[in-house]
Chain A
Amino acid sequence: MKSEEGRGRTLDEAVDAALIELGESRRNVDVKVLSEGPEETVVEVTVIDHAAASALAAPVDGKSEVARTLVEGLLKHMGIRAQVTTRVGTEPMTLDISGRDLGALIGWRGETLRALQSVTNVMVGRHLGEGERIIVDVERYRQRREHTVREIALRAARQVKMTGDPITLDAMQPFERRAIHLALDGDPEVTSASIGEEPERRVVVGLRKPAAE
């Protein structure tokens, strides 16, 4: 598979740099963040071969094929023309839906996408092991959101370090909050914690207190 390393001041810039080299659009690539810092972000962008991806994932245990066929059927009943592929090498198993004008399938703050994921997991449930889940993504919406919130987290961390004041971010979904916690986990100067109740739960980024001696 074709891949390219991209560097930039922000995650978006790094991805764009690699995309220009590859001559590809965002919907056809997988992005792996190699390093993220206040000055520079380095990513590895790999072009996805949809046909090869389906062929590779299907024979593993049949689960992905069952899920893929099921989601394809659901979309057909909904009157939506889209392609469903299995993302290779991801844990948990991820189904990518791609096509044109799929905004309605994502819905308000990803609500419809989330509902589709719940239905998929219920229907495929008996083929899955204990605790095993399927992630459903439309046009890499989930992945793009994770990248966006990671950017927000790093920006907030920079500001906190400069001012010393904590910053409360907007209310976010659990997978977005997790992305923020993971993004700031390795930073020795700042810490992140969630406050409030769902669905208004927010992450607060603040200075890490020195450990008591």
Chain B
Amino acid sequence: MPGRAAAERIRKAIALINAVADGAGDEEITPTEIAEAIRDCLELRDVDHVPNVRRYLGEALDAVSDGMPADFVAMTLYAALGALQEGGAAV
């Protein structure tokens, strides 16, 4: 299904950020890991099939690099997920 792999990877990145924000207290997640998860999303061709997805992912990656709050990064990734959905991808 087009878009499903991208959606799964975006959700993984969001889950990592949520783990940082919620602090389950059982993991140590670094910004590098979150950045890697977003880069994994960018590697997929799916993200080029739907407008704006690559742009939002790029913005999220920049936000991680700039040390923006976790909620800001999460919001940008949710925007990417929403764009995939609006683009008719199976999410």
Contact = CB atoms under 8 A, between A and B. Distances in A.
A118 B24 contact: no
A206 to B, nearest CB: 14
Contacts, number: 66
A178 B71 contact: no
Main secondary structure of the interface of A (DSSP, over half): helix
Q: How large is the interface on B (under 10, 10 to 19, 20 to 34, 35 or more residues)?
A: 20 to 34
Q: How large is the interface on A (under 10, 10 to 19, 20 to 34, 35 or more residues)?
A: 20 to 34
A39 interface: no
B39 interface: no
A98 interface: no
A177 B69 contact: no
A128 to B, nearest CB: 10
A181 B12 contact: no
B16 interface: yes
Interface in B37-87: 69, 71-72, 74-75, 78
Interface of B: 11-12, 14-16, 18-19, 21-27, 29, 69, 71-72, 74-75, 78
Interface of A: 111, 114-115, 117-119, 121-122, 125, 133, 173-175, 177-178, 181, 193-194, 197-199, 201
